[in-house]
């Protein structure tokens, strides 16, 4: 039982890690730069270590949402987490990027799971309506920006990339809160889906998704900044679809594949669009 539970914990963040690799790849494209593949691996290692740490340091709601991971070998999981984090730090040092870019999400991930005390006041980032979604989104948007900061041409471009990944992460975390409504309700966590219900949560997410994509598009159309149009359009359309599909508590493996895997099919669509435009140009 322990070995199976340990493998479940170690394997639970693989999709997140792969998604992280492609997220940074997309960030490079949005910055108009050739992606640094080694840095993409470093970012994916940070993502893996943060999410696996969260699984290793379980909260009481996890006993309801993921009882099959209850007997995992915690120390072995923490060793693997440390190995991935150290590897990411070594890559950042070699690339002359501050190790703080990797340590910040790791530290916040720990505080997110375990909380902290200020005098007699105990604070847990998982508590409070929308607090954890905001913290997670802010953390990953800032980390992505820190990883590619040396490649950004101006502050407006950096700000829009930050905003893009902030809202994408915010929406995605809320969608995954939807599947944990039962456990979060029992634990007394006032998540957005628990508080607003599935239908209103879906409407809120659709409004957020369309609003920030239209805002970025406005900056592009005004000629204030360059932004990959194919990625922007695909991101908006994909958001419309998977919010409609997964702003609910139904259990399905496709939620992770579609939502976390968005970056892979986004890049596949972009490559097809580029190839199609090239073929159309040469044929004319």
- HEC string of 51-82? HHHHHHCCCHHHHHHCHHHCCCCHHHHHHHHH
pLDDT in tens, 14-36: 888 999 999 999 999 999 899 99
How many angstroms from the chain centroid is the CA of residue 40?
A: 14
Per-domain residue ranges of the chain:
2-283
Supply 88's token pair.
Answer: 């990411």
pLDDT in tens, 158-179: 999 999 999 999 999 999 888 8
197: left (phi over 0), alpha (psi -120 to 50) or beta: left
Give 6's pLDDT tier (boundaries 50, 70, 90): confident
Q: What are phi and psi of 123, to 5 degrees?
A: -120, 130
Q: Tell whether the model's pLDDT for residue 3 goes beyond 60.
A: yes
Query: Which has the minimum average pLDDT: 39-53, 161-175, 237-251?
Result: 237-251
Average pLDDT of every residue of the chain:
84
Measured over all CA atoms, what is the biggest interatomic distance in the chain, rounded to whole angstroms?
Answer: 73
How many angstroms from the chain centroid is the CA of residue 160?
A: 17
Comparing C-alpha atoms, which of 251, 175, 161, 159 is closest to residue 208?
A: 175
Give 259's pLDDT tier (boundaries 50, 70, 90): confident
The better pLDDT of the pair 69, 207 is held by: 207
Q: Tell whether the model's pLDDT for residue 60 goes beyond 80.
A: no
Give 197's pLDDT tier (boundaries 50, 70, 90): confident
Radius of gyration of the chain (CA): 19
Look up the CATH architecture of domain 2-283.
Orthogonal Bundle (1.10)
């Amino acid at each position: 039982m322990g070995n199976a539970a340990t493998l479940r914990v170690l394997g639970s963040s693989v999709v997140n890690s792969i998604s992280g690799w492609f997220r940074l790849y997309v960030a490079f494209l949005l910055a108009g730069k050739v992606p640094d593949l080694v840095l993409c691996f470093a970012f994916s290692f940070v993502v893996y270590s943060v999410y696996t740490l969260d699984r290793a340091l379980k909260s009481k709601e996890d006993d309801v949402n993921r009882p099959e991971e209850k007997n995992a070998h915690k120390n072995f999981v923490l060793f693997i987490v440390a190995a991935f984090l150290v590897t990411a730090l070594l890559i950042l040092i070699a690339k002359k990027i501050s190790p703080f870019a990797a340590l910040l999400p790791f530290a916040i991930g720990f505080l997110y799971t375990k909380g902290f005390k200020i005098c007699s006041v105990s604070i847990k980032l998982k508590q409070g309506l929308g607090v954890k979604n905001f913290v997670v989104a802010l953390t990953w948007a800032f980390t992505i920006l820190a990883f590619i900061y040396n490649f950004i041409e101006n502050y407006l471009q950096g700000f829009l990339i930050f905003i893009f990944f902030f809202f994408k992460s915010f929406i995605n975390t809320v969608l995954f809160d939807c599947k944990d409504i039962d456990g979060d309700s029992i634990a007394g966590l006032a998540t957005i889906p628990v508080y607003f219900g599935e239908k209103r949560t879906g409407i809120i997410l659709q409004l957020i998704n369309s609003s920030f994509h239209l805002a970025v598009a406005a900056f592009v159309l005004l000629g204030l900044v360059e932004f990959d149009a194919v990625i922007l359009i695909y991101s908006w359309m994909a958001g419309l679809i998977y919010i409609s599909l997964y702003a609910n508590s139904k259990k399905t493996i496709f939620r992770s594949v579609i939502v976390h895997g968005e970056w892979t099919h986004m890049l596949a669509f972009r490559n097809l669009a580029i190839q199609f435009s090239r073929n159309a140009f040469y044929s004319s």
